[in-house]
Amino acid sequence: MPSLAELQNVCVHYGKRRILDSISLSIAPGDFWTIIGPNGAGKSTLLGLFNGLTPHSAGSVFFKGEPITPRTAARIRRRVAHVFQATDLDPKMPLSVFASVLSGTYGKLGLFHRPGKQEKTLAMQSLEAVGLAHLAQRPIGHLSGGERQRVALARALAQEPELLLLDEPTAALDWRAQRDICNTVGMLQKNFSLTVIMITHDLNAVFALAQKVAMLRDGRILWQGAAQDAANPDLLSELYDVPIQIAHSGDRAAALF
Amino acid sequence: MEDLLHYAFLQRALLMAVLGGAVCGAIGVFVVLWRMSLVGMCISHAAFAGALLALWLGVPPLAGGLAASLGAASAVGPLAERPGFSLDTAMGVVFSVVMSLAMLALGLMPGARTEGLSLIWGSLLTVTRLDLQLMSATALLLLGFVFLFFKEIEAIMGQKHAAAAAGIPVRRIYYACLMLMGLVVAFALKAIGGLLIYALIVTPAATALQLTYRLNRMFWIAALLGAIASVAGLWLSFLWAVPPGAVIVLFSSAMLIVSMIFSPKNRGRAIKPVQNQQHGKRPEEA
């Protein structure tokens, strides 16, 4: 099956500092990948390669067979949605939830065009998909962290992406909100047949959601393969440099450390 | 106030107060919402330093202020984007350097330094027809920019990285906004004064933020408050024979304090619900 996105021997440097070295990954349509690794491994940098936000200094990056270069990146970015970590917002910010989600359609709409009924319908449907239609009129600064991340997922959905990038979507959220986001991501991936690449520190989310895992350490891929094979205590302990055990409850695996 | 209707120089002062106040208020919305405080401060004070240096060199201060504000706007944009670069520190250094240059130029000026001092405190009463024409053109430019790119401006607010990742040309719009700010500062400098112009940019917008959850209204409210503060300041300065720039900013700051105390947002409510005939309704209700 032809890949949706591909990294071939990609290197990334910031000045003289090497951030990523000889990264090769092939993302097939419908895959759910997670990228895991310690802080500073280069995970966010790697994720940014898939929509051209991270410039690469060597190797090749492809999206549906088309190379991602400074010239093609802006166009390709409209087909790739990217959800960042939750950040604090000013509660007085003059932006409604609906307007925030609607902005996901603006990249494809282009400059000098106003959103019409089609875009507004899409935004509303995206909000319904994440269960937040009842908050459409709420100022976005009034939402909890978990709700704002669901709005971010709705905004990504409104973009009608072919690839969804998630950069630690559950960071800085409480346990309940983390579960909500993971469940929402899993549901969206199934219902919309999305191809997803997610960075997470939550190993339990990896085992529950992902089909494939790439382990990144010091800018290099330590291991990549099926998620069930990633539940390997020796591999995980080497990745994070702390002893990790894997517990099994029925068909569920959980990391203990 | 009746005198304002009789004398041409007072009429120009009043027009500049309305136009300049409105334009400064409106551009301040970007500064407040896009968190450009340090950047805005540097551009304002760079314009001030440029105008004083130009005056010392015998060049028209407007040209010097314009060159310095646009130069600062061009430099600050790329600096702000450099990963791992401490913008706080850099802007602090730039601010100190430009203020030192401004004071140096003032100190080196021969004679009574009247024109130099008026650039510090502002001089609405010496506004010329050219000043008004330039400010009118800038107002039209700003109105056009906000009208044409409103949806992008709204998308960038508080979610800049997400907007860029969705394919919105954030950098181009950000740089265009910096250039506009440079123009506004350069053309309003003579009327409001270098030390206070940044305050007139920020305070009306900060006041508007207390009053509405709708971005389009925030632009109009900020512009209106900027104009009100400028006209009130002009009138009071005429009454009390004090520098107009200072009175304008004090009046504007008083409005901000009152709005913060009585803001409907303090109670978690908007003045009006955020509602649009299309927004917030299900497709079958639209």
CB contact A137 to B (< 8 Å): yes
* Mutation target vs B (from A89, A92, A138; most B CBs, 10 A cutoff): A92
Q: Which residues contact A114 (CB under 8 A, 6 or more apart)?
A: B151
CB contact A121 to B (< 8 Å): yes
**DSSP string computed for B44-99:** HHHHHHHHHHHHHTTS-HHHHHHHHHHHHHHHHHHHHHSTT--HHHHHHHHHHHHH
Give dist(CA B62, CA A39) in Å, integer. 51
How far is Cα of residue B169 from the mean position of the Cα atoms in its chain? 23
Burial bucket for residue B285 (CB in 10 Å: 0-12, 13-18, 19+) = exposed
Segment B96-135, tens digit of pLDDT: 888 888 888 888 887 767 777 778 878 888 889 999 999 9
Closest residue in A to B215 (Cα) is A94
Instruction: Mean pLDDT check: name the lowest of A102-111, B186-195, B213-222.
Output: B186-195
Chain B residues within an 8 Å CB radius of A14 = 83
**Separation in Å, CA of A204 to nearest CA in chain B:** 26
* Mutation target vs B (from A14, A83, A84, A96; most B CBs, 10 A cutoff): A96
Asked if residue A60 belongs to a domain, the reply is yes
Residue B28 pLDDT exceeds 70: yes
Residue B286 pLDDT exceeds 60: no
- Provide the pLDDT for residue B56: 87
Segment B86-95, tens digit of pLDDT: 667 777 787 8
Chain A residues within an 8 Å CB radius of B281 = 124
Asked if residue A245 belongs to a domain, the reply is yes
Instruction: Kindly state the percentage of chain A with pLDDT values over 90.
Output: 67
Residues 66-105 of A with CB under 8 A from B: 74-75, 77-78, 80-84, 89-96, 98-100, 102-104
Find the helix packing angle between B37-56 and B170-192, rounded to 10°. 50
Which two structure tokens, joined as six digits, stand for B226?
């900027």
Residue B3 pLDDT exceeds 70: no
- Provide the pLDDT for residue B2: 59
Identify the residue whose tokens are 């350069």: B186
The answer to pTM > 0.80 is yes
- Cross-chain CB nearest to B167 (options A74, A102, A142): A74
- B45 band by pLDDT with thresholds 50, 70 and 90: confident
Its ipTM equals 0.86
What range does the domain containing A235 cover?
1-79+193-257
User: What value does the mean pLDDT take over residues A165-190?
Assistant: 89
User: What value does the mean pLDDT take over residues B152-169?
Assistant: 90
- A171 band by pLDDT with thresholds 50, 70 and 90: confident
Give dist(CA B151, CA B154) in Å, integer. 5
Instruction: Mean pLDDT check: name the lowest of A21-30, A31-40, A131-140, B29-38.
Output: B29-38
Instruction: Mean pLDDT check: name the lowest of A27-36, A82-91, A122-131.
Output: A82-91
Asked if residue A35 belongs to a domain, the reply is yes
Superfamily of domain B2-267, CATH level 4: ABC transporter involved in vitamin B12 uptake, BtuC (1.10.3470.10)
DSSP B4: G
Residue B172 pLDDT exceeds 60: yes
Give dist(CA B69, CA B51) in Å, integer. 9
- Provide the pLDDT for residue A206: 87
As for how many domains chain A has, the answer is 1
CB contact A56 to B (< 8 Å): no
Domain edges within chain B: 2-267
Identify the residue whose tokens are 């094979």: A229
- B84 band by pLDDT with thresholds 50, 70 and 90: low
Asked if residue A146 belongs to a domain, the reply is no
Rounded mean pLDDT of chain B? 84
Q: What is the signed CA dihedral for B49, B51, B55, B57, rounded to 10 degrees?
A: 70
| Chain B residue set in contact with A, beta carbons under 8 Å | 33, 83, 148-149, 151-152, 154-155, 157-159, 161-169, 209-210, 212-215, 217-218, 265, 268, 270, 273-275, 278-283, 286
Type and span of the H or E element at A27: strand A17-27
Asked if residue A98 belongs to a domain, the reply is no
Cα A201 to Cα A37, A168, A206, B98: the distances in Å are 7, 7, 9, 46
* CATH code: domain of residue A231: 3.40.50.300
